[in-house]
Amino acid sequence: MSQESIENLVRGILQEMNSKETSAEVSSHSEVGVATVADYPIAKKHPEWIKTKTGKTLEDITLSNVMNGSLTPDDLKITPAILKAQGEIATSAGRKTISRNFERAAELTVVPDERVLAMYNALRPYRSSKQELLEIADELENKYSANISANYFREAANHYEKRKKLKGDN
């Protein structure tokens, strides 16, 4: 397989991934208005909307750029704007639950990756006290303005308390 074939394959895979949960942001989304089902998949219908967190375009995401080191993991991170656009598309399609998931994901993009992993690990049964879960909720709300996720942690704290799933209950 030639390098050109590999590059085309990688580009195709990335575009397919981007049409579902794009690792980019909507750069001129406010000029476009609310995204609808007609805008799906964004990568095919509106590639001009897509810029990565570091300003790269889909055209910049090539095997060659991966191999020469000009792409970093930060160049591929999903951004809040494209997640919100995907949520708008889901709402337009009558998929409110998926839309809420995109909204929650969008607000978590500002939380460092390691912290997100630690927070979700804290949600595992018997890992955290109610107070620890409530402290995470406060952190999400006050430090990151992640209100949906903060409410999720508060709900989990109450649920775990009722079901005896908090640290020390086992």
**112-169 to CATH, choices 3.30.460.80, 3.90.1530.10, 1.10.1780.10, 1.10.1510.20:** 1.10.1510.20
The reported pTM is: 0.73
Q: Do the domains 34-109 and 112-169 sit in the same CATH topology, yes or no?
A: yes
pLDDT tens, N- to C-terminus, the chain (170 residues): 556 656 665 666 565 555 544 333 333 344 446 899 999 999 999 888 888 888 888 889 888 998 999 998 888 888 898 899 999 999 999 999 999 999 999 999 999 999 999 999 999 999 999 999 999 999 999 999 999 999 999 999 999 999 999 999 98
In the chain, where are the structural domains located?
A: 34-109, 112-169
Q: How far apart are CA 160 and CA 132, in angstroms?
A: 12
CATH numeric code, 34-109: 1.10.1510
Tell me the one-letter amino acid at 64.
Answer: S
- What are the C-alpha distances in Å from 158 to residues 19, 129, 138? 37, 11, 15
